[in-house]
Amino acid sequence: MENGALRVGFGYDVHAFAEGRRLILGGIEIPYELGLAGHSDADVVIHSICDALLGAAALGDIGRHFPDTDPAYRGISSLILLRRVKDLLKEHGFVVSNVDVTIVAQKPRLAPYVDLMVRRICDELGWRRGLLNIKATTTEGLGFAGRGEGIASYAIALIMKIQEKNP
């Protein structure tokens, strides 16, 4: 692969609502009576970003690198996983050009938290604000999200090869 080559990756994640858990999206806690079920903190936003970045670099997916069968990842902050993905990309000579995320949830209303999510993720990774876009939508009551059963997130990432993998 030549330096300067652009690569695109797509990520998707979904988790069901669960009682007794905090709702963590985009690295921040959202006040809501339900959280999301999962082995880690179940942050669908960050999981979809991880999968988009890993896919763009042809490095598999989040489950390959951080399996839910490994107790080391039980309850882990997904921000830690995203930092590790960023490090993997760097090791393989990639830089992130941009990431776009769509969160699908009927409830809670997420628009008031989108800027906080962007700020949290960008600060965590040392990204400039314009590199990441997050938006939220509903399904107008249709499907699992519309019935209030859970939350989904879609992400697309554009990365660029800047150097060959370190020997």
63 assigned ligand-binding residue: yes
102 is in an annotated binding site: no
139 marked ligand binding residue: yes
115 annotated ligand binder: no
CA–CA distance, 10 with 39 (Å, rounded to integer):
22
138 annotated to bind ligand: yes
100 is in an annotated binding site: no
User: What is the spatial distance between Cα 16 and Cα 163, in angstroms, rounded to a whole number?
Assistant: 40
Q: Binding site annotation covers 62?
A: yes
Choose among 79, 112, 102: nearest CA to 156.
Answer: 102
Report the candidate in 4, 7, 24, 16 with the shortest Cα–Cα distance to residue 143. 16
Q: Is 147 annotated as a binding residue?
A: yes
70 is in an annotated binding site: yes
Task: Determine if residue 65 is labeled as part of a ligand binding site.
Answer: no
How does strand 94-104 pair with strand 132-137? parallel
Whether the CA torsion 10, 48, 54, 124 is positive or negative: it is positive
The residue count for the chain = 167
43 is in an annotated binding site: no
- 40 marked ligand binding residue: yes
Output the known binding site for a divalent metal cation. Answer: 13, 15, 47
Known binding residues are 13-15, 39-40, 47, 61-63, 66-70, 137-140, 144, 147
